[in-house]
Structure 1
Amino acid sequence: MRWLPTLLLVASIGIQQSFADRVLVLGETAAVKDSHSVFLNSIKERGHELTVRAADDAQLALFKHGQLIFDHLFVLAPGVQVFGGSLSPIEISKFVDAGGNVLIAAGSNIGDALREVAVEHGFEFDEAGTAVIDHHNYDQTLDAGDHTTIVVGKDQLISAELIVGNAAKLGPVLFRGVGLVSGKSNNLALNIVKASGTAFSSDPKAARAVNPSIAGSRTLLIGGLQSRNNARIVFSGSAEFFSNTFLAAKTNSVNPSVQGASSGNAELASAISKWVMKESGVLRVKSVNHHKKGETVPPAEDYFITEDVVYTIEIEELKNGKWVPFQGKDVQLEFVRIDPFVRATLKNNNGRLSAAFKLPDVLGVFKFLVDYRRVGYTHLYDVQQVSVRPLWHTQYERFIRSAYPYYASSLSMMAGLVLFSIVYLYHKDTPIKGAKVLDSEKKKN
């Protein structure tokens, strides 16, 4: 039996590996393993399987027999003009449609391949040879004199801890590369890191000054989006942002208001990679229940109008590789036919969210609908369809309090009719003495 612990250990390792995410990393050369080793090793340490290839490798593929070969794609090859193998911008779009996640890192030497991928997803990189320049926020140590090695303050990050981590504790970030913008019709775009108001994108080697194509905070340094199928994509204008040099650098900004001993690149790169690989910001529905007040299970048939009901949903969030109760307090429930008849904020009790309400006095087919959309989180959508019918004739109240005035009116009318009938039928007029009697009355008598 001494071999039993060893067998269990091997089995557990096999189970862990079977659930490890597969990551394809593309570089311009094999040197990306050395220049970005710190970043890549941090991903390995989180339990992922990395496959590093050249971007022009003739054997590149993302699908095999219609199935995904990799779960994530990292492109750290700014200058690639054409991908190798079956890889192409259209193929990457299909990869995203199938649920794959993508991280694209470009640079001033950006090739056409990365520009096409960005356009496919609602972003646009500036022209090759351009760089983001900031004469008021550059690093005095790493910059080569053209002010393209810029220092980014924490106020330029998106206000979403799930994506960028704890920005309050983050040091200044170093960036050197090309700028990008999001399309006006791209409603899913996330401005993860934007340039300062004094930055602009231009060719630093131009012989004479030209009008910049993009300038100010409209210039994005890192952008991203979460597609409608919850696949995530991040576009960085700088591959050096993830390099060992920038991750370990000491910042020396010309701007005295942006100071810090070490760069925040390592922390920010880790947070962004966790988000794009769905290690953070992932929600799921554990269970859903709805029933009449005072009961514990849904009705065998239909609900009836004006009944009191209780709705409960359990939501979990993925944190550090484990599913834990979701603590959000802004989840809402809608009771919808065509339009919402009821909208209520669910009360959270350690991941168990509930609401009690009265069904509307309207019959039809309704839905218990939870549609939760928040920046950084996956889209949570749950629908439970039920029917609401009118009461049986035996279920109505015998007497309705609001109808008491009408009851009184009917009774008084009936009593008045009876009284009038009695008076009319049994009342006889007595003649007045001394009054003249008409001939017609005499004949009757």
Structure 2
Amino acid sequence: MSSNHQRSWIQLGLSQLLLVALCLIFTGFVNTQSPQANKNTLVLVDNLAIKETHSTFFRRLQENGYQLSFKMSDDQALSLKKYGVWLYQNLIVFAPGTDELGGDLSPEAIAEFVDAGGNILAAGSPSAGDAIRDLAAEFGVELDDVGSSVIDHLNYDARSDKGQHTLIAVDPKNLVDAPIIVGKEVQAPLLYEGSSLLVDPENPLVLEVLVASSTSYSYDPTKPISEYPHTVGRNTVLIAALQARNNARVVFSGSLDFFSDKFFSASVQKQGGQLFEKSGNEALVRALSDWVFKENGVLRLSNITHNKLGETSPPAEYTITEEVVYRAVFEELKNGVWTGYVSDDIQLEFVRIDPFVRTTLKRVPGKTGLYEARFIVPDVYGVFQFKIDYHRKGYTFVNSATQVSVRPLQHTQYERFIPGAFPYYASAFSMMVGVCLLSCVFLHIREKDKSE
């Protein structure tokens, strides 16, 4: 092969590599910079009719700018990432009847998706397949046995229940005490027909968003009760949420119908209770979807500064017993806009292995979101950190650590005379005076001559 042919082949190969690199860069740029890319959402369904029966839920997401990609849950071409780049930021799994997800999707792959910061909204049913059960187990949630439904003989919907009392009406008071998650607009009872969830009470990351009444239990309504139900009373969890340590969010519901148009617009009346023209499902789902997809409850910390009192720039190192001023800006995402976060429970720690100082940040008057703390550096030198570790229910975790050095006093910075040492000073000078007097007496005394 001639050198010209070799050169042309090399140029062609380089051009192809350059084209692939540009495509990857462009894909990564779009996924990280475009506002629409942050709302790319994969919707898995096991029946395309769900698009119609849950149209209100999906339409609201699309009106808020979410790009929904509907795919069958057993599609063999399913994938969450391509060439190492995540294709979606959110995942909705409305496929309770699927036994195995198609393509590259598996519970482990979806767990990796959450580890990368992705958010998940999933719903099950009494006949949920292995796919949704394995997925729930990855995040510390377990669905009840196949065929089991939540039953409540005292709090069921008297208008629409078919006699098995599985269509229950849940009081809004059973929601978690976190308005940032469930909103403030839920006033009517919530319609629920589905399976119960079991969560690990020792898992600090899992929240019980909605629980059933104390008269409820979970069992197969077609069979007589022959053993103790898996969940009884307030231990019957209907909706659970998880916020991972990287602030990724996951919401599991034991009922797919909870998100349906039928339940959104249905009237509710408990047995012998007040009639509500519309259930509270739509209001709760609106708040839940905003939370799980990080429209609400997102905090960030910025503009961190620290300096000595009376100065404006941070020093290379601090000296013990100096007064320090620490400032930081806390912001909350509201309606797509970052605004100042208002709270009086944000704490700052000055840590060297263990906290030596713990103080509450105070709001700076006239400056929204700006907080300040002043304290005296402890009389201990070493490597310290200004640390903020802010955890509040429903909000993203805020962690910040700024490392600084603290040194002892230089020789020229010590006091020449310490008040506590005045007795020692007095004893030293008194000894000097005594020696002088003794010397004078000794030198000037005249001994008598023995001969006289």
TM-score normalised to the size of structure 2? 0.88
Structure 1 residue 394, shift from structure 2 partner: 1.3
Cα 1:412/1:274, change in 2 over 3 Å: same
| Corresponding residue number in structure 2 for 1:93 | 111
Matches within 5 A, 1:14-413: 18-166=36-184, 169-254=186-271, 256=273, 260-299=276-315, 301-349=316-364, 350-413=368-431
* Residues 103-138 of structure 1 deviation map (CA, whole Å, 9 limit, x = unaligned): 110111111111111111111110110001111111
Corresponding residue of 2:13 = none
Indicate conservation of the 8 Å contact 1:152/1:173, yes or no.
yes
CA RMSD of aligned residues (A): 1.9
Aligned partners of 2:194, 2:432: CA distance in 1, in Å? 93
Deviation for aligned residue 1:260: 3.6
How much has 1:221 moved relative to structure 2? 0.3
Shift of 1:279: 0.6
SS where residue 281 of structure 1 aligns? coil
Question: Could you tell me how far apart the structure 2 residues matched to 1:420 and 1:179 are?
Answer: 99
Residue-by-residue CA offset, 1:38-95 (whole Å, 9 max, x unaligned): 0111111111111111211222111111221111011111111111111111111111
Looking at structure 1, the residues matched to 441 and 267 of structure 2 have their Cα atoms a distance apart, in angstroms, of 111
Question: Conserved in 1, the CA contact under 8 Å of 2:44 and 2:73?
Answer: yes
Matched residue type, 2:290 = K
Deviation for aligned residue 1:211? 2.2
Q: SS of the counterpart of 2:437?
A: helix
Aligned letter for 2:360?
A: T
Moved more, 359-368 or 416-425: 416-425
The letter of the residue matching 1:288 is: I
5+ residue gaps in structure 2? Answer: 1-32
Identity %: 47
For 2:433 and 2:246, the matched residues in 1 are separated by: 72
Structure 2: distance between partners of 1:272 and 1:187: 19
Q: Distance in 2 between matches of 1:197 and 1:417?
A: 92
1:436 maps to none
Q: Could you tell me how far apart the structure 2 residues matched to 1:342 and 1:417 are?
A: 50
Equivalent-residue separation in structure 2 for 1:425 and 1:182 (angstroms): 97
Question: Displacement of 1:19 after TM fit?
Answer: 4.4
Write the letter of the residue equivalent to 1:276: V
Greater mean deviation of Cα atoms: 313-322 or 182-191:
182-191
Deviation by residue 1:384-412 (Cα, 9 ceiling, x = unmatched) = 11111112211222222333333223323
- State which structure, 1 or 2, has the greater radius of gyration over its C-alpha atoms: 1
CA separation in 2, counterparts of 1:192 and 1:259? 24
Q: More deviation in 350-359 or 79-88?
A: 79-88
- Report SS of the residue matched to 1:196: coil
Structure 1 residues 139 and 369: CA distance shift in structure 2, 3 A: same
- Aligned partners of 2:43 and 2:91 also within 8 Å: yes
Secondary structure of 1:394's aligned partner: helix
State the alpha-carbon separation in 2 of the partners of residues 237 and 22 from structure 1. Answer: 25
What one-letter code is carried by the residue in structure 1 that aligns with 2:165?
H
Distance 1:100 1:331 in 2: 27
Q: Which residue of 1 aligns with 2:8?
A: none
CA offsets per residue over residues 177-213 of structure 1, 9 Å max, x none?
0001112442211011111111111000114544211
* Residue of structure 1 equivalent to 2:16: none
The offset of 1:18, in angstroms, is 3.9
